[in-house]
Amino acid sequence: MSKTSRSPAQSWAAAGSPRPIVIIGGGSIVADAHLPAYRMAGLPVAGVFDLDAERTAKVAVDWDITPFASLEEAIATENAVFDLALPPVAHQGVIEKLPEGAPALLQKPMGRDLAEATAILKACRERKLTAAVNFQLRFSPMMLAIHDLYKSGALGELVDVELHANIMTPWHLWPFLKGMERVEILLHSIHYLDLMRHFLGDPRGIHAKTLGHPDTTVSQSRTSAILDYPEPVRAVMSVNHNHDFGPKFQDCYFRFEGTKGVAITTLGVNLDYPKGVPDELWFCEKGGDWEEIPLSGTWFPHAFIGVMNNLQRFIAGKDDTLLTSVEDAWNTMALVEAAYESSARPATPIKEKP
pLDDT value at 3 more than 50 = no
What superfamily would CATH give domain 21-137+305-323? NAD(P)-binding Rossmann-like Domain (3.40.50.720)
Q: What is the pLDDT of residue 246?
A: 95
pLDDT for 91-148, tens place per residue? Answer: 999 999 999 999 999 999 999 999 999 999 999 999 999 999 999 999 999 999 999 9
Sign of the CA dihedral with 112 first, then 136, 94, and 40 last = positive
Enter the pTM of the model. 0.96
Q: What does the alpha-carbon distance between residue 49 and residue 68 come to, in Å, rounded to a whole number?
A: 5
pLDDT value at 5 more than 60 = no
Q: What is the pLDDT of residue 227?
A: 98
State the average pLDDT for the chain. 96
Q: What is the pLDDT of residue 147?
A: 98
pLDDT value at 170 more than 60 = yes
- Mean per-residue pLDDT for 205-214? 98
Q: What is the pLDDT of residue 174?
A: 82
Q: What is the pLDDT of residue 1?
A: 40
Q: Dmax of the chain from CA atoms? A: 75
Identify the weakest region by mean pLDDT among 74-78, 153-157, 168-172, 209-213.
Answer: 168-172
- Mean per-residue pLDDT for 209-223? 96
pLDDT for 39-89, tens place per residue? Answer: 999 999 999 999 999 999 999 999 999 999 999 999 999 999 999 999 999
Q: What is the pLDDT of residue 274?
A: 84
Q: What does the alpha-carbon distance between residue 348 and residue 204 come to, in Å, rounded to a whole number?
A: 19
Domain with CATH 3.40.50.720 in the chain: 21-137+305-323
Q: Per the omega criterion (within 30 degrees of 0), is the bond before 109 cis?
A: yes
% of the chain residues with pLDDT over 70: 99
- Mean per-residue pLDDT for 28-35? 94
Q: What does the alpha-carbon distance between residue 243 and residue 237 come to, in Å, rounded to a whole number?
A: 16
Is residue 281 very low, low, confident or very high in pLDDT (cuts 50, 70, 90)? very high
**Beta strands in 181-230, from DSSP E residues, in sequence order:** 205-211, 222-228
Q: What does the alpha-carbon distance between residue 330 and residue 320 come to, in Å, rounded to a whole number?
A: 19
Cβ neighbours of 254 (radius 10 Å): 24
Is residue 2 very low, low, confident or very high in pLDDT (cuts 50, 70, 90)? very low
pLDDT value at 153 more than 60 = yes
Q: What does the alpha-carbon distance between residue 79 and residue 177 come to, in Å, rounded to a whole number?
A: 35
Q: What is the pLDDT of residue 4?
A: 39
Q: What does the alpha-carbon distance between residue 103 and residue 34 come to, in Å, rounded to a whole number?
A: 17
Is residue 6 very low, low, confident or very high in pLDDT (cuts 50, 70, 90)? confident
Is CATH 3.30.360.10 correct for 143-300? Answer: yes
